[in-house]
């Protein structure tokens, strides 16, 4: 989503940097060769797309591990509504919670609504919350490093120089935030408005990925791709690519089979048939010999 990556490494545009990026991508594709048929490699970005606007290097599994020592992994996500959150959108939040559990192998649940102070609004656009300010203001109630907070609002969000953001997250702050303001009409079911639920699932799992230390993905079409527009976000798949799944699965190069099975059943139940089919293809492409379940998340 339109958010700052938790880990940002600026690449210069010199030829040496381009060669380095190419060799990293080649290494990632080689790792998944012969079993990545269920995934689409990213093409050269076009004007207006996220990677055209932001020259990000991505993050390999090794780089993720180096940046995120496994000493204090997040195990629980608390979903906290703030600002306006209409009752009609409650089923969306319940679905987000269930999806995060299946997607990342975490515990997730709704926490009490947060009474956000007016100081968290943007000075230049007071109708928007300042997403970075919101992240700083989230209290980590338990004091436990295993708990992270994901704020949810139906108000619009902004950040920095960007006119709006769908979400923002900070791994160091163990906090993320997302907005459904631009996603459709809360309260309409999947039959009337199938877009809102899918968009909410996409942005919440993406921002949670940043909370867990994943940077934007530049290798495959993937849940961790940055998105500059709703059109670009809608074109992204919900599932993780094999490289990002390997970060989320401790020791395996794909998500553990039980989590994929749970995700497929969830997508089918909430009416996201294309997503259920995508996860089925991933399950079929899953190589033999990969352990059925990693020791633990994230």
- Closest residue by Cα to residue 205 from 173, 227, 182: 227
- Please identify, using beta-carbon distances, which residue of 6 and 89 lies nearer to Zn ion: 6
DSSP type of residue 214: -
DSSP type of residue 226: -
| Residue 175 binding Zn ion, by CB under 5 A | no
| Residue 93 binding Zn ion, by CB under 5 A | no
C-beta of 236: minimal distance to Zn ion in Å? 10
- Candidate ranges 87-95, 135-143, 181-189, 235-243; the one touching Zn ion (CB under 5 A): 235-243
Contact 7, 256 (CB under 8 A): no
Q: Identify the residue among 79, 152, 154, 244 touching Zn ion (CB under 5 A).
A: 244
Residue whose pair of structure tokens reads 């080689």 in the numeric block? 30
- Candidate ranges 2-10, 69-77, 94-102, 261-269; the one touching Zn ion (CB under 5 A): 2-10
- The answer to whether 207 is a known catalytic residue is yes
Which residues in the 23-82 window bind Zn ion by CB under 5 A?
none
Backbone angles phi, psi at 152, to 5 degrees: -135, 130
Contact 119, 146 (CB under 8 A): no
Which residues in the 184-223 window bind Zn ion by CB under 5 A?
217, 222
* Active-site residue, from 101, 207, 232, 243: 207
C-beta of 156: minimal distance to Zn ion in Å? 17
| Burial (CB count within 10 angstroms: exposed 0-12, middle 13-18, buried 19+), residue 172 | exposed
What b/e string do you get for 51-63 counting C-beta neighbours within 10 Å, with b at 16 or more? Answer: beeeebbbbbbeb
Number of residues in contact with Zn ion under rule CB under 5 A = 6
| Residue 245 binding Zn ion, by CB under 5 A | no
Residues tagged active-site: 207
Residues of this chain that bind Zn ion (CB under 5 A) = 3, 217, 222, 224, 241, 244
């Amino acid at each position: 989503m339109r958010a700052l990556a938790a880990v940002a490494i600026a690449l210069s545009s010199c030829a040496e940097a381009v060669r380095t990026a190419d060799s990293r991508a080649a290494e990632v594709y080689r790792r998944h060769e012969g079993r990545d048929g269920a995934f689409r490699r990213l093409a050269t970005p076009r004007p207006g797309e996220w990677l055209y606007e932001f020259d990000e290097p991505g993050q390999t599994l090794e780089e993720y591990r180096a940046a995120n020592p496994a000493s204090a992994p997040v195990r629980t996500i608390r979903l906290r509504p703030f600002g306006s959150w209409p009752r009609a959108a409650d089923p969306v939040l319940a679905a987000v919670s269930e999806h995060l559990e299946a997607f990342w192998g975490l515990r997730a649940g709704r926490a009490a609504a947060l009474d956000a102070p007016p100081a968290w609004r943007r000075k230049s656009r007071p109708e928007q919350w300042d997403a970075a300010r919101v992240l700083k203001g989230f209290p980590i109630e338990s004091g436990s490093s295993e708990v992270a907070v994901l704020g949810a609002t139906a108000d619009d969000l902004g950040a920095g120089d960007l006119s709006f953001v769908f979400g923002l997250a900070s791994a160091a702050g163990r906090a993320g935030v997302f907005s459904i303001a631009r996603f459709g009409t809360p309260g309409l079911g999947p039959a009337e408005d199938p877009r809102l639920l899918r968009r909410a699932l996409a942005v919440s799992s993406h921002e949670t990925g940043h909370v867990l230390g994943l940077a934007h993905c530049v290798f495959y079409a993937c849940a961790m791709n940055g998105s500059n527009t709703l059109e670009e976000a809608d074109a992204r798949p919900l599932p993780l690519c094999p490289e990002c799944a390997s970060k989320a699965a401790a020791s395996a190069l794909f998500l553990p089979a039980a989590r994929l099975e749970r995700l497929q059943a969830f997508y089918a139940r909430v009416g996201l048939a294309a997503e259920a089919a995508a996860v089925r293809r991933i399950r079929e492409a899953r190589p033999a010999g990969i352990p059925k379940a990693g020791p633990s998340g994230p």
